[in-house]
Each structure stands twice: as structure tokens, then as C-alpha cells.
């Protein structure tokens, strides 16, 4: 890994990855190289909120990285207290989707992260920030954990109006049951994960990948919600520990032709981090619901 500059080492860091040197195992194509559009929404939202972003990459030229580091300052990101930089890395033999977690792990273990207190690892191609997600870690107030978006959808559903059923599938009683759990446990959450709208037993993609990666399915996971590793946050120590567990599992499995990430993350999180994971709610809009409005800190597709 290339040694980073030491000009700015913030306490809270957003990490992302942009790899164009490998073909995606699902559709057989590599992502477009050297395209600002690929990560523009992620980048602009970090700039707008004055956050600190680091984008790991495997191919961008010095001219490209210098341009968009300078542009971050020109657009006012530095003036808002933020920073942005690129860091070149060298992916290994796993798929790009899996290899990124080995490189995130290495980043968090390196000297460049010694002063980092909290981190969010967020997909760059299909996610953006509406608000600072670190508030859920640093200020665990009632108001920060109040899911008003879910409440509004639940109320609309109760009134017979158009609404998103995933946000409150059991109406106002269901919303309050989940909200009460989140408020009660908000001081003990250690990891912050993306949310999907299915349980493992009802998700054909997950079941297929359990078959491909583990050669079996796990009945004890059937009723567990699908957690999306496109959003991962927490203290540097907790996120690094999770990544150590995930990378060790991938190394043990030695499955390199298909994506490991989602099934390995879900197995480890549901088995080893029970009660410590906050997902959905005020953190993020559910994956692939294509929401554009709400009080979520992160929108993911």
C-alpha cells in the first residue's frame, strides 16, 4: 500500500473504493475506469457536509487525483472543515467486491489510521450522504435515533395513503416496536450496517450465494434480516475487528470465483455481534428502494 501524505489525519473518516482492474463476477464486466461520475454523488455529499473522505483506488492517474482533491477545496469542502484524498492500493486475488475489505482492513491497521476514532465504509457508486452519519455514534440522543421517515410512512399507511411498506410493514404498532428497540439499545450499538427489505430465507440471491460459498444453508439464519455491507460504521477498533473476522473467514473458505462478502458478513454479524448492530432507521434508506427523500443519514440506491 502506498504511504499516504500526513497533511490531514481526521478523527472521523469515510472510506470508499474504486477498482477498475478486475471484472465483476456477476456480470463479467469491469467498472468504467477514471470516471468521476462513478463516485460523484458520494464525493459531492462528503464535500457538502464537510466530512473527511478517503478513496482507495487501483488505477487513477496523478493528474486525475490531483484535480479532484483540489476541486474538493474549490467547492468549499475544506472550508467546511472537511478533507478528501485518494490512496492507491494493490488488490489481491479475490473479487474486487471482496478484496476491498482486505484493503480497508489494512488501512485501518496502518499508521495513517492511528488517530482515526470512527469510520464509515460506504459504497461509492450507489450511495450518498444526506447528513453526518457519525452523529449516531458520537451523540446518541433520542432525536438522532428517532426515525421520523418511518413514522410518516406508517401514518400514511394507516390513513390509506400511498407509502413505502418496507418502512413500516406492520403500520404504526410495528414502527413503534422497532423504534422502541432502537431507542432502548442506542447506547450499546457498536456496529452500523446497511439495511435491506428481506430476511435471509426470503432472499434468493443470498440463498444462492450461501450454496456457492459455504456449500450449505444455515437454518438458524433463516429469519434474520439481510444486513448490507455497502454501509459499515463504528469505532475504528470495532470495524477493524469485524473486518479481521470477515477476511479470516474468506481466507479459510478460499472461494475466489464468486462474491463472498454478503453471506460472510451476515453469518458473522448474526452469530458474533448479536444485539450490537444498528441497521436501517435513522441511519440509512433501505438498499434498492430508490428513495430520494427522508431523514436518513445515508441513501443507498
Segment 156-183 mean pLDDT: 77
**What's the structural domain count of the chain?**
2
Q: Which of 126, 145, 167 is the last residue of a domain?
A: 126
Q: How confident is the model at residue 1 (pLDDT cuts 50, 70, 90)?
A: very low
Q: How confident is the model at residue 156 (pLDDT cuts 50, 70, 90)?
A: confident
Q: Could you tell me the maximum CA-CA distance found in the chain, to the nearest angstrom? A: 57
Q: Are 275 and 188 in contact (CB under 8 A)?
A: yes
- Higher-confidence residue of 20 and 240: namely 240
For residue 290, what are the CA distances in angstroms to 90, 159, 282?
Answer: 32, 23, 16
For residue 123, how far is the Cα from the chain centroid? 6
The span from the CA of 291 to the CA of 294, in Å, is 8
Give residue 285's pLDDT.
Answer: 86
Is residue 142 within 8 A of residue 133, CB to CB? The reply is: no
Query: Whose CA is closest to 54, among 120, 151, 152?
Result: 120
Cβ of 256: how many Cβ atoms within 10 Å? 14
Identify the pLDDT of residue 6.
36
Note the pLDDT of residue 177. 92
- Is 106 part of a structural domain of the chain? yes
Q: Determine the Cα–Cα distance for residues 80 and 48; give it in Å rounded to an integer.
A: 8
Structural domain of 196:
136-300
The residues with which 232 forms a beta bridge, in sequence order, are 121, 193
For residue 27, pLDDT over 90 is answered with no
In this prediction, residue 26 has a pLDDT band, given cuts at 50, 70 and 90, of low
| Residue 261 contacts residue 269 (beta carbons within 8 Å) | no
Based on the fold, state whether residues 162 and 67 are members of the same structural domain. Answer: no
Residue 294: what pLDDT? Answer: 77
pLDDT digits (tens, 9 = 90+) for 98-131: 999 999 999 999 988 889 999 999 999 999 999 9
Of 84, 100, 126, the position where a domain reaches its end is 126
Report yes or no: 192 and 133 within 8 Å, Cβ to Cβ.
yes
Question: Are 198 and 108 part of one and the same domain?
Answer: no
User: Is residue 131 a part of any domain in this protein?
Assistant: no
Where is pLDDT greater, at 301 or 206?
206
Residues 120 and 173 in one domain: no
Quick one: pLDDT at residue 286? 76
Q: Is residue 160 part of a domain?
A: yes
Q: Do 97 and 172 fall into the same domain?
A: no
Between the alpha carbon of residue 41 and those of residues 23, 150, 188, 229, the distances in Å are 23, 24, 31, 19
**Sorting pLDDT into bands at 50, 70 and 90, what band is 2?**
very low
Q: Which residues pair with 228 in a beta bridge?
A: 194
- Judge if 67 and 148 occupy the same domain: no
Distance CA 120, CA 249 (A): 21
80 in the same domain as 143:
no
What's the per-residue H, E or C state across the chain? CCCCCCCCCCCEEEEEEECCCCCCCCCCCCCCCCCHHHHHHHHHHHHHHCCEEEEEECCCCHHHHHHHHHHHHHCCCCCCCCEEEEEECCCCCCCHHHHHHHHHHHHHHCHHHCCCCEEEEECCCCEEECCCCCHHHHCCCHHHHCCHHHHHHHHHHHCCCCCCCCCCCCHHHHHHHHHHHHHHHCCCCCEEEEEEEEEHHHCHHHHHHHHHHHCCCCHHHCCCEEEEEEEEEEEHHHHHHHHHHHHHHHHHHCCCCCCCHHHHHHHHHHHHCCCCEEECCCCECCCCCCCCCCCCCEEEC
pLDDT > 50? residue 3: no
pLDDT at 268 over 90: yes
What average pLDDT score do residues 174-198 get? Answer: 94
Is the pLDDT reported for residue 148 higher than 70?
yes
Quick one: pLDDT at residue 214?
Answer: 97
pLDDT average, residue stretch 281-295: 73
pLDDT at 169 > cutoff 80: no
Residue 208 sits in the same domain as residue 295: yes
* pLDDT for position 284: 93
Instruction: State which of 126, 146, 173 marks the end of a domain.
Output: 126
pLDDT of res. 163: 57
Contact 30, 58 (CB under 8 A): no
| pLDDT for residue 79 is more than 60 | yes
Q: Write down the mean pLDDT value for the chain.
A: 90
Residue 78 shares a structural domain with residue 179: no
In a domain, 209, yes or no: yes
Amino acid at each position: 500500500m502506498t504511504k499516504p501524505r500526513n497533511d490531514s489525519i481526521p478523527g472521523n473518516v469515510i472510506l470508499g473504493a474504486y477498482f477498475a482492474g478486475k471484472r465483476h463476477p456477476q456480470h463479467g464486466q469491469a467498472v468504467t475506469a477514471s470516471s468521476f461520475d462513478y463516485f460523484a454523488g458520494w464525493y459531492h455529499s462528503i464535500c457538502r457536509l464537510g466530512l473527511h473522505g478517503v478513496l482507495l483506488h487501483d488505477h487513477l492517474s496523478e493528474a486525475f487525483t490531483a484535480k479532484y482533491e483540489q476541486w474538493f477545496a474549490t467547492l468549499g469542502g475544506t472550508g467546511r472543515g472537511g478533507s478528501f484524498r485518494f490512496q492507491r492500493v494493490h488488490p489481491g486475488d479475490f473479487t474486487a467486491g471482496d478484496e476491498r475489505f482486505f484493503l480497508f482492513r489494512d488501512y485501518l491497521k496502518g499508521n495513517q489510521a492511528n488517530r482515526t476514532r470512527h469510520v464509515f465504509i460506504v459504497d461509492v457508486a450507489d450511495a450518498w450522504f444526506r447528513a453526518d452519519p457519525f452523529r449516531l455514534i458520537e451523540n446518541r440522543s433520542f432525536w438522532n435515533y428517532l426515525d421520523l421517515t418511518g413514522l410518516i410512512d406508517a401514518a400514511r399507511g394507516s390513513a390509506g395513503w400511498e407509502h413505502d411498506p418496507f418502512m413500516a410493514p406492520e403500520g404504526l404498532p410495528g414502527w413503534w416496536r422497532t423504534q422502541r428497540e432502537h431507542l432502548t439499545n442506542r447506547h450499546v450499538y457498536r456496529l452500523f450496517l446497511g439495511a435491506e427489505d428481506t430476511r435471509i430465507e426470503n432472499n434468493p440471491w443470498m440463498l444462492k450465494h450461501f450454496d456457492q460459498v459455504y456449500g450449505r444453508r444455515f437454518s438458524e439464519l433463516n429469519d434474520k434480516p439481510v444486513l448490507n455491507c455497502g454501509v459499515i460504521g463504528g469505532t475504528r477498533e470495532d470495524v477493524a475487528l469485524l473486518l479481521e473476522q470477515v477476511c479470516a473467514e474468506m481466507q479459510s473458505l478460499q472461494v475466489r470465483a464468486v462474491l463472498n462478502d454478503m453471506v460472510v458478513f451476515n453469518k458473522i454479524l448474526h452469530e458474533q455481534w448479536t444485539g450490537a448492530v444498528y441497521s436501517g432507521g435513522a441511519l440509512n434508506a433501505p438498499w434498492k428502494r430508490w428513495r430520494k427523500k427522508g431523514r436518513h443519514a445515508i441513501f443507498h440506491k
